[in-house]
Amino acid sequence: MKTLLVIDVQNDFMPSGSLPVPKGDSIVPVINKIQDKFDLVLATQDWHPIDHVSFATNHKGKSNFDVIELYGKAQTLWPNHCVQGTEGAAFHPDLHTNNFEAIFRKGTDKTIDSYSAFYDNGHLKSTGLTGYLKEKGISQVYFCGLAADICVYFSIIDAFNEGFDCIFIEDASKALDNEHLKQLKIEMIAKGIKVLTSELL
């Protein structure tokens, strides 16, 4: 079953949002166009409580994009984004969502950040996505969405480590930092993760 995972195509990650990914809105028509090439389309949403530990506003004297240590790991402090139930947490209004068979929400635990669609950043809690895919007999997953160098990347790595064959659709994704994404693509390809464009689907 050919499976697509659409990651965090939400208003707060668009150019007018609180945590904008450059040209993030440009991938919406690409994702809409490719959905009919897949038997199963799934999606994720960042879904944070307002008092989430990753928000700079919840750390006195700290600013957006400061880095602190949290549970022995580096934690970037983000602008408030994708707060549960807000317009910023909603999918981009032009994104076709009727084909989404299931939506997995992440970042719901206020005490830890969660970039990946599969686990929180400490790998303490699963979203259940691995089990969902395995129960359906899926062994290969295509990935797209926002931001390519953060949530998409960490989702791909977790999926790869769970034994899935992973394909990154680069023109259906945009990065917060394009130079960083270049390095990550080299790393992914070295692991055996495929990188392709939507024309090759």
DSSP string, 2-55: -EEEEE--BGGGSTTSSSPPTTGGGGHHHHHHHGGG-SEEEEEEE-B-TT-TTB
The C-alpha atoms of residue 47 and residue 83 are separated, in whole angstroms, by 6
The C-alpha atoms of residue 137 and residue 155 are separated, in whole angstroms, by 19
129 to 14, 43, 100, 106, 109: CA distances (angstroms): 25, 10, 14, 11, 16
Residue positions annotated with a catalytic role: 8, 106, 151
